[in-house]
Amino acid sequence: MSKPLTETNFNFPGQTDLYKGKVRDVYRIDSDILVMVASDRISAFDVVLPKGIPFKGQVLNQLAAFFLDAVKDIVPHWLIDSPLPNVSVGYHCEPFKVEMVVRGYLAGHAARQYALGLRSICGVELPDGLRENDPLPKPIITPTTKAAIGHDEDISKSEIISRGLVSEHDYLDMERYSLALFQRGQHMANARGLILVDTKYEFGKRNNSIYLMDEIHTPDSSRYFYAEGYETLQNKGAPQRQLSKEFVRQWLIQNGFQGKTGQTIPEMTDAWTEEISKRYIELYEAITGLHFIPQSYTPHQIAEGISEWLKTKKPTQA
C-alpha cells in the first residue's frame, strides 16, 4: 500500500492564507483562488484519527469532481479544475456558517437521536413507528453549525435565521438547491444500484451569488446503501449493507470511542487502514462505474504540479 499523505505545508507565489481542515489543506492564492489538497487523513466524531488511509484523498477528490460536474446545471459551484488526482482548484467563496444536511432515511445520527425518544430533529417533526434505516415520508433538511474546531451542532431553520447566520432569502435558496441536489444524487445512485441515504452540502457567496462549495456525494459527506437486498434486510431488522464512513464510526463506538472527553482512540492496525482504503475504492467504483487507478505523489510532486497550474492556467480575472 502507498504511504498515506497526511500533511502538506506549501508556500506558493501569491499565497495569502493556509487553512488546515479535518481532511483538506486549503491554500488561498491572492484573494480569489483556493487550492484544496485532499489529504489521506480521516475523521470521525469531529476528531482526526491517528492514521491516514491510503488513496482516500484521491477517492474523495475525484468523486467530488465527478459529482460537481454532474450538478452544474442546478447551482454554480466553486471548482475550476483538478490538476492532480488529490488536488482541486477553484474560486474563493465566503462560506455560510451552516451545513445543509439532507436525509432521506432514518440512519446514523438521526437514528441514534430517534432511538433516544426524540421526535423533533432540528425543528423537523418525525412520525412515530419508524425503524432504523426506514425511508422518511420525504427528504428533510437537518442543518448543523459549521465548527472550525470541535463538534458541529444541530440547529433549526428558525434559529439560523433568527441568529443571523443566514438571511431568510439565502436560506430558502440553499434549501431549494439542497433538495434538488439530493434528488439528482438519488437518481445517480439508483442508476448504479445504490441508495443515497443522507448527505451534506456547503454553500458560500461569490459576487453576491450562492455557490456550492467543497465535496458532494462522497463517502465522507454521504451514506449509501446497496439497493439489492435492502427490503429483505429491513424486514428482518438486520443492518444494511453500506457504502459510507459509518462502518468507521461503528468500529469506534464498539471500541469505546465517540469523541467524548476522556475517551481514547482505539489502535488502528495496518490491516484495518487497508480495509478502510478498499472500502473507499469500492464506493468510487460502485457509484461512478469507473475503474479506480491509484496514483501516488510525494508532497514535492504535488507542490510542483500546483505551481505549474498556477503559473500557466490560473484565470487572470477570477
- Walk along the chain (318 residues) and give the pLDDT tens digit of each residue: 578 999 999 999 999 999 998 899 999 999 899 999 999 999 988 899 999 999 999 999 999 999 999 999 999 999 999 999 999 999 999 999 999 999 999 999 999 999 999 999 999 999 999 999 999 999 999 999 986 555 678 999 999 999 999 999 999 999 999 999 999 999 999 999 999 999 999 999 999 999 999 889 988 889 999 999 999 999 999 999 987 788 898 899 999 999 898 999 999 999 999 999 998 898 899 889 999 999 989 999 999 999 999 999 888 755
pTM for this prediction: 0.86
Amino acid identity of 80? I
Q: How far apart are CA 220 and CA 15, in angstroms?
A: 28
Going by CATH, does the domain composed of 95-246 fall within 3.30.470.20?
yes
- Long-range interactions of 107-116: CB distance < 8 A, separation 24+: 107/132, 107/133, 107/197, 107/198, 107/223, 107/240, 107/246, 108/197, 108/198, 108/223, 108/246, 108/249, 110/142, 110/198
* Region for residue 208 given its phi and psi (left: phi exceeds 0; alpha: psi -120 to 50; beta: otherwise): left
Dihedral sign of CA atoms 95, 98, 101, 102 in order: negative
**pLDDT the model gives residue 150:** 53
**pLDDT the model gives residue 298:** 92
Checking DSSP bridges between strand 135-141 and strand 124-125, what pairing results, if any?
unpaired
- For residue 169, give every residue at least 6 positions away whose Cβ sits within 8 Å of its Cβ, in sequence order, or none: none
**pLDDT the model gives residue 1:** 59
- Residue extents of the structural domains in the chain: 95-246
**pLDDT the model gives residue 27:** 97
